[in-house]
Amino acid sequence: NGFENFGTIYSTKEIQTKKLDDVYDIPQIDMLKMDIQGSELSVLENGIEKLKDCLSIQLEVSYVCLYENQPTYGEIDLWMRKHGYLPHCFVDIKRWSISPTIINNDFRIAGNQLLESDIIYIKDPLNAKNLTISQLKKLCLISHYCFSSFDLCVYLLLELCSRNCLDNNTHMKYLEIINSKSH
């Protein structure tokens, strides 16, 4: 519905790219955000070493193929789970009308067909025992400041408490602060 108006190719240009694993100027990645028009899986597959300690990855995933040879959400989700990540939350979900339905003469008015979304994956929190103290702290900060995932933050604070890195009631103090700001 309207896609034919979005894809006129006027010219093409060959460019040189590198695998993520071959970008030596980036020593470590704690959080990665990608929106690269259907090439996310290729970057993931060519960045296994760089991403082995990455704590959070935000991706744009498609439920309907918009580009040639584009992997769908299912393929990306399988890859992410295979590499120790779980879907944590959706940041944005884009819906579209199924052709030929056009509402109020505007093809941009969404129907219910899922088109694409931004999704956040995190290292599986059920395996938090496999994360270092430094990784737990980083993921706690990422979850709070980047995703407003206060529940994940509490869970990670509890793990840090169980390792005697924080006072046992730190998670309760954190919840008090969060609750006081929500009024």
Give residue-wise pLDDT tens across range 82-116. Answer: 999 999 999 988 877 777 777 887 877 777 677 78
pTM, two decimal places:
0.86
Cα angle 92, 39, 18 (rounded to 5 degrees) comes to 130
CA distances from 97 to 31, 103, 177 (A): 33, 8, 42
| Successive 10-residue mean pLDDT values, the chain, 183 residues | 67 92 91 90 94 95 82 94 95 79 78 82 91 96 95 95 92 91 70
Cα angle 13, 17, 20 (rounded to 5 degrees) comes to 150
